[in-house]
Each structure stands twice: as structure tokens, then as C-alpha cells.
Amino acid sequence: MLIATMMTKFRGVRSPLHAIGDGRIGMDWINRYIDQPLLHGAAGLLRSWHLRTRQPPELLEPTWNLVVLAFLLIASGQVLAGKPFALGVTALIMLALPSARKLLSAMKARGGGYGAREYKSLRARAIAKREAEWSVRIIVLFSSACLPFIGRIDDPAGACFMLGASIWFVLTGPLKAYLDAAEPPEPNEGDRMFSGAFHFG
């Protein structure tokens, strides 16, 4: 009887241990305490950006990318010179081109603004990314946390390049992943019925 009672208790604790082995509890914990809070934080950033600047929320990520690259350009001018500096500037320009192109396209299409149609499109894309790219966000997040501690290089110029690449990825990679999947803010302009039906916070 004692053995049967012990086996019953053992079976009672086996289920969560088995679930941990399957990764279910770990995934639920990551989703509840890491992924969801970061998604809510990203949605708050998009809302603050839109309310303060009156610009479409999708312009926050390329603007931040250019700010980070400008900081790296200034920093590289302080630690690099000659050919390494020229290579660094070239790399920074290549990284800046997609963001600059996106901002220029938005300036040309400013007449449309950010209304109900843009909100619907952005929200549908965010929902699709939120459901399909959970693992991508987590991989990017943990990679950005580990990247500064790996890849030691003895060459000073190479070490500077690696440090700059790490800083750029840490400051832009996770932010882009979560901004793309975050709930966009409600438009301040557009269809009144649409604005009345969707109200956040």
C-alpha cells in the first residue's frame, strides 16, 4: 500500500516534469513573461511615436535605425582611420539605405496619411507576424543578448567592426522584430465609424 501511495504521488509530479521535457512549460513561460510584455511595450512605443510626431507608426523603426547608424558613424570616426574607417562608412551606408528609402517613400506618399485603410493593413500584417514568427522573435532576442559575449577578435580594427555590428544588432534587431508584430495605434484621422469601433487604452 505504501508503495502504491508513493507511485501515485510520483505519477502526480511526473506530468509537469514530462511537460518541461516537452518544452511546453518553457514555451508558456517565455510567452507570458518575455514575449507578451515586449509586444505590449512595442505597441506602447508605436502609440507614443504616432501621438507625438503624427507620423505613421511604421516609420519608427527606420528612423531609429538611422539614429543608431549615425551614432556608430560618429563613434567610428573616433576610433578608426584610413582604410578601416572608409570600409566602416561604406558598411554603415549600406545598412542605412533600406531605412532611408522607406522614409523617402513615405515622404512622397505623405498625402495619404495614416488612416483607416493603413491601419487595417498594418494590423493584419502585425497579427500574421505575431502568430507566425514567435520563434524568430525569441531567437533574435536571445541572439542579441549573447552576441556581445562571443566572437573575440585580436585585430583592433576587426574588433571594432565586430563591436559595432554587435551594437547595431542589439539596438535594432529585437526592436524591429517586436515593432513589426506589435498592435499598431488607432489612426487619429479616417473613417469616424472605424475610429469609434476601435479604441485602445
The residue among 78, 51, 20, 48 whose CA lies nearest residue 182 is 48
CA 114 – CA 186 distance, rounded (Å): 9
Query: What is the per-residue pLDDT for 5?
Result: 47
- In this prediction, residue 60 carries a pLDDT of 96
Residue with cell 541572439: 143
Domain-embedded: residue 3: no
State residue 151's pLDDT score: 62
Closest CA to 76 of 159, 135, 19, 15: 159
In a domain, 55, yes or no: yes
27 within a domain of the structure (yes/no) = no
Within a domain: residue 18? no
Using the CB atoms, write b or e for 102-133: b if 16+ within 10 Å: bbeebeeeeeeebbbebbeebeeebeebbeee
What does each of the 201 residues of the chain score in pLDDT, given as a tens digit?
544 444 444 344 444 434 444 555 678 888 899 999 999 999 999 999 999 988 899 999 999 999 999 999 999 988 888 898 999 999 999 999 999 999 998 877 765 578 888 899 999 999 999 999 999 999 999 998 888 777 667 778 788 888 899 999 999 999 999 999 999 998 864 444 344 334 433
Domain assignment present for 170: yes
- Provide the number of structural domains found in the chain: 1
Asked if residue 61 is part of any domain, the answer here is yes
Domain-located, residue 99: yes
Q: 88: domain range?
A: 32-185
Domain for residue 2, yes or no? no
**pTM above threshold 0.85:** no
